Structure 1
Amino acid sequence: MLLKFLARFFLVGTESEDSSSLALFKVSALRIILTCCLAVCLGYTFNGMFNDISSHFVAYGIFFSAALGSLLYFSRSHTQPVAAITLGLFGAFGVLLAYGSDDLNAVKLGLISLYSLPLLARILFSFRLAAIISIANIASFALAMYESYHFTNPDTELFGGVYFQTLSFILLNFALPFSVSRVFHTLQESLEKQQDLNERLNHHSELYEEIFEHTGTPTLLCSSKGEILKANQQAVELLQPLRNQAIESSTINDWLSPITDAKSRYFWQKNVSECSLRIDRKVHIEVHRSSLTNHGHYVLHLQDVSHLKALAEELETTQQTNSQLAHFDSLTRLPNHQNFCRQVNHRIKNVAQYYTGAMFIIRISQFKLLNKQYGRDHANRVILSFSRSLQNKLSAQTITGRLRGVKFACFLPLGQTYLIQRNLSALIKSVLPTSIEIEGDQLNMDYQIGVAYYRNEGESAEELLERCEMALEYSTSADRISYYNHNLESKLIQNHRLGLQLAEAVKNKEIQIWLQPQVHPSGEVRSFEALARWQLADGTYVSPMIFIKLAEELGLLPKLAEGLLRELVSVLKGWHQEHISIPIAFNLAGQELMNDVFFALLMSLTSDHPWLSELLELEITETSPDMTQPLIHKRLRTLSQYGYTIAIDDFGTGQASMGQLIDIPANILKIDRRFVAPLPADQRHLDIVKSTVQLAKSLNMKVIAEGIENREQANLLISLGCDTLQGYYFGKPAPISEWIENDNAKAKSLRMVY
């Protein structure tokens, strides 16, 4: 008990979280000093009381003992005043003993007290005070030396007294205080480095937490023994839909039961394992393992395959009962691709008279969105309901089949009337359901259709399907029904070749970055927009409108954006080192933001370059249907929290523009060039621009107008309140190399160096 009390008393706050704080250190040091001084003072007083020492010094000892005891009592609540009084008492005690006593030992004790003052001042206060007292003690040392030479017996005291005083003075007055100061300085530097390291570790931890939470799939982090260390929200929702047991600190075996290898306790160590949920055996989950060799942990990705299991079992059962179903789609019971072609070819070969007909492919446009929003089961119900509605509205002479996924094919005989395209288009639209009801919800349907005519010229079903596929590729949002012709085939082949070239260009990083200035109404350049340019081997340039759309269709946008972003960050790094504070806006669309690898790269670059969010602005192109996805809105909010400026590009031309203002944490609104080009003559466009600027100002957003080509447009947009202007009138896009050559001379010339 006594030892615990002494430990709590002298080592103040050792068990608390603040045990390393400077204030508690001073309290602890003060108590130790006061206790030691009190013990010495009491010993001196008792010795004086029993050895005929002057009663004055005994009284001094009693007084100092009482004072030290009082100071010890108030040391925690009034640390600074007590420390100051202690320092004063030490000085007074030293002066009284050194210069008011005839006892040699008392004089030595007094001098030691005076020489110890700098060390106490450094521990309890600061280096500056310790240095001042050290210098002041030179007078005490000089006086002591003077008395040693003039008032002591040289044969007995001079040699020992002088060297004892000199050694005590140097050691206590200078060596120890300066050594302690050096130790304190080193400890302070180490503490600051440790705090900086902790902040960086916390920042990286938050970044990795964000990436782990947004992997896009249910994910677990577990130890080599199967203990769950971390689970993202999707994994929590998948594993515990009906109970509130904590997932973390439990084991994989508490939640999943292996199906293929039921006896194995370590089933999750395999690359892929098929399991069932313990609380619901009907839920089948595939576990995909990724090992982290640096830590010995495992990352497990979970996939709910219950619906696939159910469909596979249904198909297997049906195939066992009727082998003919191998020629039909398992979900809709429509002829599959092979059976559909067989029936069409049979129809064509067995008609004696002149025969005309049309084949068309129907693709449900928003199926991917339905699949993500409602799940695969609901999406399959949409397909089933659509196929039934289509069969009910088509004539008995029509051959209908499901090709794959959301593509359906129809072949129907035609009379003379429907050889006219607008009449056939009206017929096709009349048989397609405009909406489908699923569990009480009314879903609006949207389609793309590719049509090819048959005129008894010997074409096969396979050839007609290829032509329909070509026509389907060129259906647009404005004209959903596209008809095949030979020019379309040539264009498709050309685009295919261009797509192969684009894939090579992205792989070899041949897409260039050009910069176009964005200026303040005063004419000063405030930022740039990064634009992609692709130059072919023959020196010609491919329009960005063409190759960006082609990259989106081929799924190359994330890889293209990754290469451009890395190059842009490299340039911005040089500008940051040169103190060039011109931000560059970088365009992002739905594919990049939905891509987990690209988002992880952006977050990683943000972590490695904390200044990046100040020099890199993100322009969100809202023309992509993916921009309405909740995951994109969540990731944009994350980027906004990391300090990125977000602009909505081409406002008014894309998907649900007004809704985007609510869902996207944007700071800037960009007015598209198609609204600026007719100004100032077109009043309707002028009204649209005015209302857009007013809307942005009401939402505390800045406005950028692009596509400005003359002074009249510039003056008008400035008068309307546009904050930033962009267009050929102020500067055409130029290769980024022009801005960084000669040690960034051109960029520095803009007077944007801070």
Structure 2
Amino acid sequence: MKIRVVDDEAAIRQNLERLLSLEGYEVLCAAGGREALALAQSASPDLVLTDVSMPDLDGMALMAHLRADVRTATVPVILLTARVEPSQIREGMRAGADDYLTKPFQREELIASVKAQLDKAQRWRENQIRMAQDHRRWLHIDPDTQLPNRRLLSTLVESELALGRQPALLVLSFDRMDWLVEQYGPSCRKAVLLCQSERLRALMRERKLHSSHDLLAMLNDRELAIMLAQPGQMFDLREWIGRLNSEVKRPVEHAGREHFVTPVMGLALSDEFSMHAETLLVHAQSALDSARRDGSTYTCYDREQADNHKIQLELHYDLYRAVERQEIHVFYQPQMHVDGHLLGFEALARWQHRKHGWVSPATFIPLAEENRQIIELGREVLRQACSQPSAWRREGYAGWVAVNLSAVQFHDPDLIDTVAQQLVEHDLPPSCLALEITEGTAMSTVPHTLQTLQRLKELGVRLALDDFGTGYSSLAYLKRFPLDLLKLDQSFVKRLPDDRNDAAIARAICQLGSALEMDVLAEGVETPEQARFLGEIGCSWLQGFLYAKPMPAEEAGRWWRRYPVLPVSALGQDSQDDPPAVLHDGALSSGRVRLSALTMRNPSPVVPAPGGAEVHGLDTSADPAWNSPPPMPPH
């Protein structure tokens, strides 16, 4: 042990050196504070024994310098003084002194003080070493399961890759872990994880290509990872994963109760694209997420699928800017009467992404609902859908435009104000706007549905129930909803008229609509035979590719001028008289036309048109312009 003795009196220095040397200590002497400070900073002693009163740098100042330097901050300091005033002792102790001896001192007193401070310093150093070791351990070990954590796993995987090996990573997650904690406390989760980790260790030892480098690690409070240094053939690996799945599905007993958790697993194999540990971990967790989304137990990482997920994430973020960047467009698909009149258009959202081009609604609508951008997107669609027919009306358009409302939009507290504002802003009569909701939305919260539909009805807009027949509507509630239109889902239309079951369902829905004094519109009509059958069973309105695909506003503006437009006021009328049709210069090529017996309840499915063309089926082969659809985005 090295002790630094500091005193400006040579006799005292020599006496202290002699006493301490006899006890086996290595003693280094300094005649003043500055000399002692310089020596201590170059080679830190184990203890400093210093006089308080010295001419160049006194003991108090020396101690202050030692405490301020990280190299000597923890070195014990014993102050020596001939003064015994309590205030000076308190001042020294407050300044950081470990002990205080007064001159003259006894040998036993000196040795006892030195020994006590050196022992205390030794204990402090040992404690610091333990703390550093514990810190390093907790940096790499999960405290609950004592398994390696993600940091250590990453380090060991990196080592395997550096040695030219190609390990595999299997990540396991257990569903309902949060529920276990909520119901039974953290101790239950710990018990489940400990039990499952023991089962996994046993399975790893039994594996055909078991390696001493295989490792079981804890990624977080619900995910475990297995590094397989020698994955072997995929067939054998899948078989082993199947055994693993069966094993961890067994119940875990804790506190007198059996607990069941369901494993979900993601596997990633190292290749030229995953030559870093973190990359391999990300791939394995991506596979785990895919398995969870698909409802499967196990999925192997697929690069193409992962790239799609990256694109989805990119789209998710870009939806926040889509309206601002004017990438949201409205396409229009006509809704026709079986007699050939145009009722109006359904407004359909389309997204022209600046990088990916036209994005399918089946892709971006669920994303928008998930991140709640569907509200802003829906407002933009409503704005365009009210603006466009308002402009057409100045040119003679008398039909409506139908806009879909998602479940999120329908529960938006500002919905009524938003609709009213758009009607006023674009000077659009409320009857020229139809709003559609699905059965699922309507039945999710019936009191809210009734209240919201009633308030919309008070605005004067038309209301339609979309995808009818696919949900779980209660007829007791359906008759209370102030609806104007039921939309027969295309799943019941595509096999008409040949499928007896679909034909029966379509007929029943048409009869239900008639009984409830609601019109019925069939979606997905693609053939004249479907249209003819639907007209015969009382379905007044048709929509589908038989007439047109969704088209941009400019093309829709040319399209409606070719057809007589049925005024919205005719919707729901039961009169046997022909409703007034608005004919445009381009609607008919020549001659005087009489559209026969147009009624809402008893339609005539086919109406003669000039030149022998069927207005119903739109056999427009004589007009090449009608057979040249515009470029369309994905449908």
TM-score normalised by L of structure 2? 0.49
Higher relative contact order (CA 8 A, sep 6+): 2
**More helix by percentage:** 1
Q: TM-score, normalised by structure 1?
A: 0.43
